[in-house]
Amino acid sequence: MTLGVASTNNVSPLALDERARIHHAVARSAIFRDLPPPAIDDIASRVTMRRALGGQAVLSQDEAGDALYLLMAGRVKIVMFGDSGGEVTLAVLRPGDIFGEMSLFDGHARSANVVALEPATALALARQPLLEHLRAYPQTAFHLLSELSRRLRRADETIAEMALCDVEDRLIRRLVQLAKEDGGELPEGLIIRRRPKQQDLANMVGSCRETISRTFNQLVRKGLIVPRGRSLVVTRRLISTLESPAKAA
C-alpha cells in the first residue's frame, strides 16, 4: 500500500492499543483463528499496519510481491484491467480475508490489481518474517493452502458459470452471493446494505452495463429484488430459484 503507517516498535499507549487491535484482527480472522495461541501471537508480532484511502490502488498488477496482507477494515476489490478500458472484478474481499499471497509464493509479479473500495486497513506480513513464522509453526501453511484451494474452487465455479449460464443466471448468483456475504436477514429475504452500481455488477459477472441494467430491471419488475434506498433486498423467492432447477417466472 502506498499510504503506509507502521508502528510496531512504538511503546506509547496508543501503540499498545494498536498492538491489541492487531492481535484481535489476527485471532478472529477465518484463516488464522484455529491456530494455537502461540502461532497467533507470533503472526501478530510480525505484521505492520498499512492504510489506504477509498479508490486507492493497494497493489498493482505486474509489480513484485514482497508481502501478504490480512485485511483488517474496509473492503478491497481484486480487479484486472483490459487494454480497451474494460475491467473484470475477480473478487471483493472483506475484513479477515488475505491477499497478496500468490506472488509471494510463486515469485512472479502480482497477478491482479487490488483497489480499496473505501478507506481500508491491512496487516502486512513480509516474505522473510512469513518464512520465519512458517519454520516455527508449519501448521500455518495448511491454513494458507486451504485458503488457496477455496479460491481455486470459487474460480472454477466462476469459469463454469461463464461457460454454462446466461447473464440473468450469473447476475442472480452474484446478487445472492453478495446478500449472503452481507448477512443481513429480513423476513422477506436478505439485504445488501450497499447496493453495488450496475457497472460494478457488470464487471463482476463479465457483462456490460446496458445488459445488466435491463436484466436488473426485469428482476425488479418480477418482484425478485427490491431496491430500498441505498440497499437492495434479495427475496427468498429469488434465492430459492438457485435451489430448484426451474427459473423464476
Give dist(CA 102, CA 146) in Å, integer: 13
Give dist(CA 9, CA 23) in Å, integer: 15
User: Which residue type does 237 have?
Assistant: R
Residue given cell 502461532 in the structure block: 39
- Smallest CA-to-CA distance from 190 within 204, 175, 200 is with 175
115 is a site residue for ligand CMP (CB under 6 A): no
> What does the per-residue mask of binding to ligand CMP show for 134-173, with x meaning CB under 6 A?
-----------------x---x------------------
120 is a site residue for ligand CMP (CB under 6 A): no
99 is a site residue for ligand CMP (CB under 6 A): yes
Give the binding range for ligand CMP (CB under 6 A) out of 110-118, 178-186, 211-219, 221-229.
Answer: 110-118
Give dist(CA 104, CA 81) in Å, integer: 21
78 is a site residue for ligand CMP (CB under 6 A): yes
Nearer residue to ligand CMP within complex by CB, 150 or 247? 150
Give the binding range for ligand CMP (CB under 6 A) out of 111-119, 159-167, 185-193, 226-234.
Answer: 111-119
Burial (CB count <10 Å: 0-12, 13-18, 19+), residue 7: middle
- Cβ(68)–Cβ(100) below 8 Å: yes
Contact positions vs ligand CMP (CB under 6 A): 59, 65, 78, 90-91, 99-104, 110-112, 114, 151, 155
